[in-house]
Each structure stands twice: as structure tokens, then as C-alpha cells.
């Protein structure tokens, strides 16, 4: 079992993350049931649109938030955003119109879009040791998986005694508790007083680093594969279980819990997997698993109805496992690919670009299921996953060292090029290669 790294500030932040995620998990179940209450059999389309609104907030706000995170006191920023989310969550039980769902989801996720990259970029500053940071990434993934597994089960238990709208109160309490723990944590001062970048340049810096780094282009492709598979689970589970299988709210929670169970099992196994395989091998193979699962699921929709429920649980478990194996090592790739002062911008870029993939897949999953049926939806999303996996394998080099020999045209910086040798009129040296002001393109 993974042990929590000994840093006290990290332990408080990890606990804060668990509490906030528990509340978020309750909201996920409640939001699906609210959509079904408001739209009935069209709940998939409503939920797909609501989640697309969430992604618009993520994609539009995260890069700006990443630029600001290096300039604002990290603790005050995180605590303020947590309290903002707590207040917005308290308004969700009063919703009785679909447009109100869209508005509140946008506001809630706008705060999350600012919170999450700043939170993620704080962890490497607390845990400089590579092994501790790898454990922290696995623990972070584990907390997401526990949320996906336990929150639906907790919701199922609570739904036997309370109405689903009160689950949003639990969401608010989770955010409030997270804010208290953030305030209690001793965080390093992370404002970057030396930076003089213009706002536009700082906002786009992370994306420019991301798209210029081959391993991160591969990461973006597998993000699309995860979004295609995950959107099927998150958008269509409620309508499929309630409308086509004629099961109750508890079955909805159990189906989502099965997805979380697969993700949890994969997170526990991941440190051993990464000891045996490079990040690239593990992530691309897991992305291929997602593609195969979606295509099998398309065949399952033609089976007799009695087989659909147990098959759904198995397939959703497989999607959870594949998603976890793809997503968890991503933090290691980001850390390898930027200087410490660029990490907030790079994490924000990853947050924004990965959620752009979800912005594409959420409405696609919802509207296809409503208009063309589940079999067609699964085939389209499966094809998307195959394409994304193939692209990742092509753009992400098999040989991907951190230290790269490269050349400079001019001896422009004597500190950086102190060890360079003049070869055929160009200055050549070797060091851990990251895109920055002196290295704007990846070496051929």
C-alpha cells in the first residue's frame, strides 16, 4: 500500500483534496439525477451540455489562472477558491430550470479551473524528491479513484434516507473543509516576483511549451482517448440504467462505482507497472485498452437484455482501469518538461488542453446517444479512441530521454553555455532539455 510522504504540508493538502473530491463525487451523482428529473429520457443531452459548459469554463479560464498563480499568494488563492465553490454548491438544490443548471455549473467549474492547476503545481514544490513525487501522483490518482468508487456508494446509502438535492450540501461541506486545511498548511512562497512577462505571453506560455514538447503532444492525444471513453460513462450511465434497463437510482450509483473500482485497482498497481515499463509504453497500451473496451461495449448492446447489466459493470470497470493507467503518469511527464517557475503555466495548459478533449466528447456522447442510439455512439467514440492512440504512438518518440544533446547558433548566454563546445560554427552541449526562452524548438 502506498504511504503518504512525510511532509506535513503535503499531508494537509492531500486530506483537503480527498474531502473536496468526496463532495464533488456526491455532486456528480446528484447532478445526473437532477438532469433526469428535469429532462427525463433526454437527460443524456442535458447532462452532456452541462458537462460541456463545465469544459468551456476549464478551457477558457485555466490558462489565465495559470499565469496569475505565479503572481498571487498560493494559500490565499486556494482557500478563496474553495470557499467560492462551497457557496455556489449551496445554490444547486434550489435549481428548477435547465438554464440554471448550466449557469451554476459554469460558475462552479470556473472556480475549479483556477484552483486545480494551482494546487497541482504546488505539490512539486513541497516534494522535490522524484520518488516522493511519484508516490504523491499515485496517491492523487488514488484519491480520485476512491472518490469515483466510494462517493457513489455513499450517495446510494444517503439516497435511502434523504432526497438527492441534499447531496449538494455535502459538496459544499467538502469544499469548506478543504479551505480550512489549505489555510492550516505551511506552503512555500510561490509568487514569482522576477517575472516581467506580459499577461498575454504568460497566459500562452504553458501552451507553447506543451505543444512544442513531443512527449506532451503524445500526452494530449491519450487525453483525448480517455475523454472519449470517460464521456460515455459520465454522460450516458444515468439514462441507460434508468430508462433502458429500468433500474433505480441505486443502480446508477453502483454503475459509477464500478468505474471507480477499476480506476482504484489500476492506481494501486501503477507504481509496480511503472517500475517495469516506461511511461510511454504503459500509457499507450492502456489507451488501446480503452479503445477495445468501447468496441466490445458496442457489441454488448446487441446482446439479450438479461446480460446488459452485468456486462455494463465489467465494461465500466475496464474503462476506469484504463483511464487511471493513462492519466496518472501525466504529472511525471509535466514535471520532466518544464523548469520549476514554468510548472504553474504548464499544469494550467495541461488542464485546459485535456479538458478541451472533454469539451469535444461530452456533447458528442450525449447528443449521439439521444439521436443515433448507444451502439452508434460507442462505435464513434471507439473510433475516436483508436485514432488518438495511433496518433500518440506516432508523435511520442520511443526513445525519449530527459537529457538531450543540442546546438545553439550563437553564444548568447555565457552562464547557460559555459560547458558548450564550438562544432562546425555552432555551440553544442548536453543537459536536461526543456522548452524555454533559450530553447524554443525541440531538437530534430
Q: Which residues neighbour 373 within 8 Å (Cβ) at sequence distance 6 or greater?
A: none
Calculate the average pLDDT of the chain.
79
What are 227-261's pLDDT values in tens digits? 999 999 988 888 788 777 777 777 887 888 888 78
Q: Is the pLDDT of residue 195 over 50?
A: no
This prediction has a pTM of: 0.71
**CATH top-level class for 8-188+198-395?**
mainly alpha
Residue with cell 473543509: 177
Q: How far apart are CA 73 and CA 128, in angstroms?
A: 20
pLDDT of residue 271: 78
Q: How far apart are CA 437 and CA 434, in angstroms?
A: 10
Q: Is the pLDDT of residue 133 over 80?
A: no
What DSSP string runs through 266-316?
HHHHHHHHHHHS-HHHHHHHHHHHHHHHHHHHHHHTTS-HHHHHHHHHHHH
Q: What is the mean pLDDT of residues 13-20?
A: 81
Q: Which of 3-17, 209-223, 226-240, 376-390 has the lowest average pLDDT?
A: 3-17
Q: Put the strands of the sheet holding 421-423 in their side by side order.
A: 403-408, 426-432, 421-423
Q: How far apart are CA 331 and CA 132, in angstroms?
A: 13
Query: Do residues 206 and 66 lie in contact, with contact meaning Cβ atoms separated by under 8 Å?
Result: yes
Helix (H) or strand (E) holding 104: helix 98-126
Q: Is the pLDDT of residue 265 over 50?
A: yes
Q: Which of 182-191, 340-349, 386-395, 412-421 has the highest mean pLDDT?
A: 386-395
Q: Is the pLDDT of residue 134 over 70?
A: no
Q: Which of 54-63, 285-294, 342-351 has the highest mean pLDDT?
A: 285-294
Give the residue with greater pLDDT, 210 vs 342.
Answer: 210
Compute φ and ψ for 189, nearest 5 degrees. -70, 125
3-state secondary structure of 378: helix
Q: Which of 29-33, 79-83, 173-177 has the lowest average pLDDT?
A: 29-33
- End-to-end Cα separation, the chain, in angstroms: 42
pLDDT of residue 196: 43
3-state secondary structure of 412: coil
pLDDT of residue 317: 93
What are 96-107's pLDDT values in tens digits? 777 777 887 788
Residue 10 half-sphere exposure toward CB, CA atoms < 13 A: 21
Distant-in-sequence contacts of 183-188, Cβ < 8 A, 24+ apart: 183/75, 183/79, 184/12, 185/8, 185/9, 185/12, 185/13, 185/16, 185/75, 186/8, 186/9, 187/9, 187/74, 187/75, 187/122, 187/126, 188/74, 188/125, 188/126
Q: Which of 104-113, 133-142, 344-353, 388-397 has the lowest average pLDDT?
A: 133-142
Give percent of the chain above pLDDT 90. 17
Q: Is the pLDDT of residue 358 over 70?
A: yes
Q: What is the mean pLDDT of residues 349-370?
A: 85
Q: How far apart are CA 3 and CA 284, in angstroms?
A: 27
Q: Where are the alpha helices (DSSP H) in 328-399?
A: 330-336, 343-371, 374-395
In the numeric block, which cell numbers belong to residue 367? 447528443
pLDDT of residue 383: 95
Q: Kindly list the distances between the CA atom of residue 69 and the CA atoms of 51, 353, 408, in Å, as whole numbers in the listed order.
A: 25, 18, 32
Q: How far apart are CA 92 and CA 155, in angstroms?
A: 16
Give the residue with greater pLDDT, 42 vs 349.
Answer: 349
Q: Kindly list the distances between the CA atom of residue 63 and the CA atoms of 81, 117, 217, in Å, as whole numbers in the listed order.
A: 16, 9, 17
pLDDT of residue 201: 61
Q: How far apart are CA 302 and CA 94, in angstroms?
A: 40
Give percent of the chain above pLDDT 70. 82
Query: Do residues 391 and 415 lie in contact, with contact meaning Cβ atoms separated by under 8 Å?
Result: no
Compute φ and ψ for 159, nearest 5 degrees. -65, -15
3-state secondary structure of 429: strand
Closest CA to 240 of 375, 150, 360: 375
pLDDT of residue 32: 67
Task: Calculate helix-pair angle for 214-239, 199-212, nearest 10 degrees.
Answer: 90
Q: Is the pLDDT of residue 33 over 80?
A: no
Q: Kindly list the distances between the CA atom of residue 296 and the CA atoms of 54, 163, 264, in Å, as whole numbers in the listed order.
A: 29, 36, 22
The dihedral region occupied by 373, where left means phi > 0, alpha psi between -120 and 50, and beta the remainder, is left
For the chain, the domains span 8-188+198-395
Compute φ and ψ for 276, nearest 5 degrees. -100, -30
In the numeric block, which cell numbers belong to residue 345? 503555466
Q: How far apart are CA 48 and CA 37, in angstroms?
A: 15
Give the residue with greater pLDDT, 70 vs 369.
Answer: 369
Rg, Å, the chain Cα set: 22
What DSSP string runs through 208-230?
HHHHHSHHHHHHHHHHHHHHHHH
For residue 403, the tally of other CB atoms under 10 A from its CB is 8
Amino acid at each position: 500500500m502506498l504511504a503518504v510522504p512525510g511532509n506535513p504540508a503535503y499531508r494537509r493538502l492531500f486530506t483537503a483534496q480527498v474531502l473536496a473530491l468526496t463532495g464533488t463525487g456526491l455532486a456528480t451523482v446528484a447532478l445526473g439525477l437532477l438532469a433526469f428529473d428535469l429532462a427525463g429520457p433526454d437527460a443524456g443531452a442535458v447532462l452532456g451540455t452541462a458537462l460541456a459548459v463545465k469544459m468551456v469554463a476549464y478551457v477558457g479560464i485555466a490558462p489565465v489562472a495559470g499565469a496569475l498563480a505565479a503572481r498571487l499568494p498560493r494559500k490565499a488563492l486556494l482557500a478563496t477558491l474553495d470557499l467560492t465553490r462551497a457557496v455556489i454548491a449551496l445554490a444547486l438544490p434550489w435549481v428548477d430550470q435547465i438554464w440554471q443548471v448550466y449557469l451554476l455549473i459554469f460558475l462552479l467549474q470556473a472556480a475549479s479551473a483556477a484552483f486545480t492547476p494551482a494546487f497541482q503545481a504546488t505539490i512539486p514544490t513541497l516534494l522535490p524528491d522524484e520518488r516522493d513525487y511519484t508516490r504523491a501522483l499515485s496517491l492523487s490518482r488514488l484519491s480520485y479513484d476512491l472518490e469515483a468508487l466510494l462517493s457513489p456508494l455513499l450517495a446510494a446509502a444517503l439516497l435511502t434516507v434523504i432526497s438527492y438535492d441534499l447531496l449538494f450540501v455535502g459538496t459544499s461541506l467538502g469544499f469548506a473543509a478543504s479551505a480550512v486545511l489549505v489555510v492550516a498548511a505551511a506552503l512555500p512562497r510561490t509568487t514569482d516576483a522576477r517575472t516581467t512577462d506580459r499577461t498575454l505571453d504568460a497566459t500562452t506560455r504553458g501552451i507553447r511549451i506543451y505543444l512544442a514538447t513531443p512527449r506532451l503532444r503524445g500526452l494530449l492525444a491519450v487525453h483525448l482517448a480517455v475523454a472519449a471513453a470517460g464521456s460515455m460513462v459520465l454522460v450516458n450511465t444515468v439514462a441507460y440504467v434508468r430508462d433502458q434497463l429500468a433500474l433505480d437510482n441505486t443502480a446508477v450509483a453502483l454503475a459509477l462505482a464500478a468505474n471507480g473500482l477499476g480506476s482504484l485497482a489500476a492506481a494501486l498497481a501503477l507504481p509496480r507497472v511503472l517500475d517495469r515499463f516506461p511511461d510511454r509504453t504503459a500509457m499507450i497500451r492502456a489507451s488501446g485498452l480503452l479503445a477495445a473496451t468501447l468496441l466490445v461495449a458496442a457489441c454488448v448492446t446487441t446482446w439479450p437484455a438479461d446480460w446488459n447489466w452485468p456486462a455494463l459493470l465489467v465494461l465500466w470497470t475496464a474503462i476506469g482501469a484504463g483511464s487511471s493507467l493513462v492519466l496518472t503518469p501525466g504529472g511525471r511527464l509535466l514535471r520532466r518538461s518544464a523548469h520549476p517557475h514554468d510548472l504553474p503555466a504548464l499544469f494550467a495548459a495541461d488542464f485546459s488542453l485535456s479538458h478541451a478533449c472533454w469539451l469535444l466528447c461530452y456533447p458528442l456522447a450525449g447528443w449521439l446517444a439521444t439521436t443515433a442510439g448507444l451502439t452508434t455512439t460507442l462505435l464513434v467514440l471507439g473510433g475516436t479512441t483508436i485514432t488518438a492512440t495511433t496518433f500518440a504512438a506516432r508523435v511520442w518518440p520511443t526513445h525519449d530521454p530527459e537529457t538531450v544533446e543540442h546546438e545553439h547558433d550563437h553564444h548568447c548566454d555565457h552562464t547557460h553555455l559555459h560547458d558548450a563546445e564550438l562544432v562546425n560554427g555552432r555551440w553544442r552541449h548536453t543537459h536536461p532539455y526543456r522548452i524555454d526562452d533559450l530553447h524554443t524548438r525541440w531538437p530534430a
